[in-house]
Amino acid sequence: MCSPPTSACPVLKRVGDRLRRLWPASLLGRLTLVMVAGVLVTQLAASAIWASQLRAKSQVEAQSAAQYVAHSAAGAIRFFRSLPPAYRMLIIQQLREMGGTRFFVNLNHAYVPITQIAPHPLAQSVIATVRETLKTDLPHSPGFELAFAWPDQLVVAEHDVRLNDLPDAWVQHVLLLQPDPAPILVIQTEIEPGNWLYMAALMPNPYFLSSNDPFAWDRLTLQGLSLAVVLLLCLLVVRSITRPLAALSDAAEAFGQGHEEGASPLPETGSREFINTARAFSAMRERIQRYIEDRERLFISISHDLRTPITRLKLRSELLDDEALRNEFEEDLDELDMMVKGALQCVKDTDIHENPAEVKLDALLGRLVRSAQLAGHVVAYQPSGLTVRAKPLALKRAIGNLLDNALFYGERAEIGVSEEPGALAIAVRDHGPGVPDDAFASLFDPYVRLAHGREQNDGGMGLGLGIARSIAEAHGGQLLLENHPQGGLNAVIRLPA
């Protein structure tokens, strides 16, 4: 737990929120991200291990090569020291005419400044090894000047004489100038006062500096190509895994929305697990479809059988002398006929199949209020003069369910209609005990009834609120339940204005 003075918790929370936003929502995105990240981390770890091993190997090889070159240079220095000064240039000239030896050798009267290559750890290690080996082999020498230089910048003699100024025959068998120049090791030592021996040579592996670099362009290109191939294969595998799942998701969504006409069966391709899942889903879809078809046939038969008694009741209502009572009977029979005609749709969507129309709320709610008052209930309603576009019978059914609940579970009810920004609200409030806060989440579940409701109405099924909410949502609205500040439950249907 973070203490109040610190600011670590907000920072960590912000970082966590950003990471959650970056985390893909789709299975394809998540698998792709995990596999790509895994391949990249593995590649980087392998490259780091390989680079470490390569550097260690190059270091050992360079040390060995440096000792070999230093021993050869020590032998050459001893040889030229043993010669009389007058014969030294003669021997050097003969070596040049014969094609040279391991070293390009020259004599100068002073130290020749060298333009060194850029600092490199391996080059500095080689120079240190050569210096130590020369000091060991030639303990009485006054000192050695060592450096690595590029051929095009190498000065080989006094008065700024460069390597490129010399005849090709003098250096072509000793130093590598074309086509890819390599760094040249230059050793200068004073063999006697006023006489400096100048020696230049390549390392046994001329390109030891580039071979030591694990991030050279050729190696990076090869690693990049291999990484691209691996990532491409990973993406293809992930795509092949998620494509059948996407087809399964589309099929399930289409089936849930009732779009079964022309639906093609799921392809039984892919992994064994998906094939088994596709077969199980297809079998489940067929069983549910058969069940729905059987239920539709049952309700079609029931609705067909009910038409005859409804027709007889309509004929008998014509014999009533009381015109108001006859009109009430005819309206009830018309509603019953509409419900019978839409029985199948009602079973599917808990809604009556009818076309939306402009509904005058005062007329619709006034009839509900009069019916409740005739039954001896107390219902208050103030006309609003508002209209709403809705399915009349479905909306009446939803409000009727809320009013029935209010009258069953409360002493009296109040109905109010008000306009809100972009919406119209129809509120039904009772004066009962209300609903406990922890019970709101389960009120819309089928067959769920509170203890107070069971005491007041033991014949209910607990379906009214769920049907009312489904009708409200089918109109693009919502049903909200809340305890009224002055007591009782307040049910509000909000519909688009």
Q: Are residues 270 and 391 in the same domain?
A: no
Q: How confident is the model over 179-194, as a mean pLDDT?
A: 87
- Closest C-alpha to 195, from 72, 73, 85, 70: 85
Most confident of 115-129, 303-317, 322-336: 115-129
Contact 151, 117 (CB under 8 A): no
Most confident of 134-143, 172-181, 328-337: 134-143
Partners of 483 in beta bridges = 489
> Going by DSSP bridges, is the β-strand pair 184-192/195-201 parallel, antiparallel, or unpaired?
antiparallel
Contact 327, 372 (CB under 8 A): no
> Going by DSSP bridges, is the β-strand pair 379-381/357-360 parallel, antiparallel, or unpaired?
unpaired
State the average pLDDT for the chain.
Answer: 79
DSSP assignment of 105-174 equals: EEEESSPPP--PPPP-HHHHHHHHHHHHHHHHH-TTS---EEEEE-GGG-EEETTTEEGGGS-HHHHTTT
SS3 of residue 429 by DSSP: strand
**Does the pLDDT at position 35 exceed 60?**
yes
Task: Identify whether 13 is part of a domain.
Answer: no
Task: Identify whether 3 is part of a domain.
Answer: no
Residue 318's domain comprises 266-349
Q: Which long-range contacts (CB under 8 A, 24 or more apart) does 347-350 make?
A: 347/295, 347/296, 347/299, 348/258, 349/470, 349/474, 350/466, 350/467, 350/470, 350/471
Q: Are residues 389 and 467 in the same domain?
A: yes
Contact 207, 181 (CB under 8 A): no
Per-residue confidence (pLDDT) for residue 19, from 0 to 100? 66
Using alpha carbons only, give the angle 364, 366, 372 rounded to the nearest 5 degrees.
110
Task: Identify whether 167 is part of a domain.
Answer: yes
The pair of three-digit structure tokens given for residue 387, joined into one six-digit string? 């209209």
Percent of residues, the chain, with pLDDT higher than 70: 82
> Going by DSSP bridges, is the β-strand pair 379-381/423-430 parallel, antiparallel, or unpaired?
unpaired
Per-residue confidence (pLDDT) for residue 1, from 0 to 100? 45
Helices (H), 342-391: 343-349, 361-374
- The C-alpha atoms of residue 62 and residue 125 are separated, in whole angstroms, by 8
CATH code: domain of residue 296: 1.10.287
Task: Identify whether 5 is part of a domain.
Answer: no
Task: Identify whether 7 is part of a domain.
Answer: no
Q: Are residues 450 and 318 in the same domain?
A: no
Q: What is the chain's percent helix, strand, coil content, to nearest 5?
A: 55, 15, 30
Q: Are residues 299 and 207 in the same domain?
A: no
**Does the pLDDT at position 472 exceed 80?**
yes
Q: Are residues 368 and 415 in the same domain?
A: yes
Per-residue confidence (pLDDT) for residue 127, from 0 to 100? 92
DSSP one-letter code for 25: S
Contact 419, 404 (CB under 8 A): no
- The C-alpha atoms of residue 136 and residue 139 are separated, in whole angstroms, by 6
SS3 of residue 258 by DSSP: coil
pTM summary value: 0.45
pLDDT level of residue 459 (50, 70, 90 thresholds): very low
Last residue of a domain, one of 238, 257, 276: 257
Q: How confident is the model over 291-317, as a mean pLDDT?
A: 74
Partners of 494 in beta bridges = 425, 478
Q: Are residues 273 and 241 in the same domain?
A: no
pLDDT level of residue 121 (50, 70, 90 thresholds): confident
**Does the pLDDT at position 63 exceed 60?**
yes
pLDDT tens, 338-386? 766 655 444 544 445 578 889 898 998 989 889 888 888 889 998 888 8
Per-residue confidence (pLDDT) for residue 450, from 0 to 100? 65
Contact 76, 103 (CB under 8 A): yes
Per-residue confidence (pLDDT) for residue 280, from 0 to 100? 84
Q: Are residues 301 and 221 in the same domain?
A: no
Last residue of a domain, one of 257, 280, 296: 257
Q: Are residues 72 and 148 in the same domain?
A: yes
Per-residue confidence (pLDDT) for residue 434, from 0 to 100? 82
Q: Are residues 129 and 55 in the same domain?
A: yes
Quote the distance between the C-alpha of residue 217 and its chain's center: 32
Looking at the chain, how many residues does it have? 497
Per-residue confidence (pLDDT) for residue 276, from 0 to 100? 82
Q: How confident is the model over 444-465, as a mean pLDDT?
A: 60
Last residue of a domain, one of 208, 233, 257: 257
CATH code: domain of residue 458: 3.30.565.10
Q: How confident is the model over 421-438, as a mean pLDDT?
A: 86
Task: Identify whether 337 is part of a domain.
Answer: yes
Task: Identify whether 152 is part of a domain.
Answer: yes
Q: Are residues 364 and 333 in the same domain?
A: no
Partners of 425 in beta bridges = 418, 494
The CA radius of gyration of the chain, in Å to the nearest whole number, is 48
Q: Are residues 235 and 270 in the same domain?
A: no
Task: Identify whether 211 is part of a domain.
Answer: yes
Residue 344 burial (CB count, 10 A): 18
- The C-alpha atoms of residue 333 and residue 290 are separated, in whole angstroms, by 33
Per-residue confidence (pLDDT) for residue 99, from 0 to 100? 64
Domain count, the chain: 3
SS3 of residue 427 by DSSP: strand
Contact 183, 209 (CB under 8 A): yes
Contact 163, 149 (CB under 8 A): no
Residue 492 burial (CB count, 10 A): 20
pLDDT tens, 212-232? 665 667 667 777 787 788 778
Q: Are residues 357 and 326 in the same domain?
A: no
